[in-house]
């Protein structure tokens, strides 16, 4: 996420353009500008980059988005850009929030990104356990979960490395 900083002048200009695309109401403020899907998250171009409209809304209200924070909706309406319906949270807050609202569509992506596999932590833990206990081959695990053997190999490898790192951290400093 590229941080967006605006001078006071820039902010005024952005605010004018922003408000022209917002339908304000007693409840949510709907974004009338560009969205990828109807009723989806609004997008707005600022200084040659495209940002989510609700992020712009938050920046206009608060001046900036705290480092590493994501902007969440209290109202569960992705197209809403009403500042007091938005709050900054961690990615974990956002995931928890979505779980609570039951609208998380994808399971967390895990493991080697370039395989573009979306698997749950439970599946990965299961795969590692099956393999390390010798009950299944990596090939068989891959078939059971619908992923490549190389993917399973990656999970096994990274889980081993994590265990090593944990041990290394426990070791007292010399
Ligand atoms: Zn709202």
**pLDDT tens, residue by residue, 117-142:** 345 666 777 788 888 888 788 888 88
Tokens of 67: 């480092």
Examine the domain organization and report whether 97 and 136 are in the same domain.
Answer: no
- CA of 26 from ligand 1 middle (Å) equals 10
Q: What is the pLDDT of residue 134?
A: 85
Cα torsion 13, 16, 20, 23: sign = positive
- pLDDT tens sequence across 31-55: 999 988 888 899 999 988 899 999 9
Please check whether residue 55 lies inside any domain of the structure.
Answer: yes
Q: What is the CATH number of the domain that holds 55?
A: 3.90.75
Please check whether residue 21 lies inside any domain of the structure.
Answer: yes
- Of residues 17 and 165, which shows the higher confidence score? 17
- CA of 84 from ligand 1 middle (Å) equals 8
Q: What is the pLDDT of residue 26?
A: 94
Q: What is the pLDDT of residue 162?
A: 58
8 A C-beta contact, residue 42 and residue 53: yes
Reported for 21-26, long-range contacts at CB under 8 A and 24+ positions apart, including other chains, are 21/53, 22/81, 24/82
Q: What is the pLDDT of residue 103?
A: 60
Q: What is the pLDDT of residue 117?
A: 38
- CA of 104 from ligand 1 middle (Å) equals 18
Q: What is the CATH number of the domain that holds 132?
A: 1.10.10
- CA of 61 from ligand 1 middle (Å) equals 15
Please check whether residue 107 lies inside any domain of the structure.
Answer: no
Helix, strand, or coil here: 50? strand
pLDDT reading at 57 higher than 70:
yes
- CA of 13 from ligand 1 middle (Å) equals 23
Please give the model's pTM, rounded to 2 decimal places: 0.56
In whole angstroms, what is the distance from residue 44 CA to residue 16 CA? Answer: 12
Tokens of 75: 């109202």
Domain count, the chain: 2
- CA of 54 from ligand 1 middle (Å) equals 10
pLDDT reading at 110 higher than 80:
no
Q: What is the pLDDT of residue 109?
A: 40
- CA of 49 from ligand 1 middle (Å) equals 24
- CA of 9 from ligand 1 middle (Å) equals 27
Where does a domain end: 81, 101, 121?
101
pLDDT reading at 72 higher than 70:
yes
pLDDT reading at 107 higher than 70:
no
- Of residues 92 and 87, which shows the higher confidence score? 87
Share of the chain above pLDDT 90, in %: 33
DSSP-assigned beta bridge partners for residue 23: 30
- CA of 151 from ligand 1 middle (Å) equals 40
CA neighbor of 87 nearest in space, from 111, 110, 58, 107? 58
**Maximum Cα interatomic distance, the chain, rounded to a whole number of Å:** 65
- CA of 42 from ligand 1 middle (Å) equals 13
Computed on alpha carbons and rounded to an integer, the radius of gyration of the chain in Å comes to 22
Structural domain for 88, as ranges: 8-101
In whole angstroms, what is the distance from residue 140 CA to residue 162 CA? Answer: 24
Please check whether residue 106 lies inside any domain of the structure.
Answer: no
């Amino acid at each position: 996420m590229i941080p967006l900083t605006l001078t006071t002048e820039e902010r005024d200009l952005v605010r004018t353009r922003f408000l022209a695309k917002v339908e304000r109401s007693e409840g949510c403020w709907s974004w009338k500008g560009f969205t990828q899907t109807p009723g989806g998250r609004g997008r707005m171009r600022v200084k040659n980059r495209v940002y989510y409209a609700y992020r712009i809304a938050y920046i206009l209200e608060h001046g900036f988005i705290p480092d590493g924070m994501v902007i969440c909706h209290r109202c569960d309406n992705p197209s809403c850009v009403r500042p007091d319906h938005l709050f900054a949270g961690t990615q974990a807050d956002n995931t928890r929030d979505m779980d609570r609202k039951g609208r998380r569509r994808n399971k967390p992506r895990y493991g080697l990104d370039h395989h573009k596999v979306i698997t749950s932590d439970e599946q990965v833990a299961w795969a590692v356990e099956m393999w390390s206990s010798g009950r299944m081959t990596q090939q068989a695990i891959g078939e059971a979960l619908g992923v490549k053997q190389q993917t399973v190999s990656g999970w096994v490898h990274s889980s081993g490395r994590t265990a090593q790192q944990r041990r290394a951290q426990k070791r007292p400093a010399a």
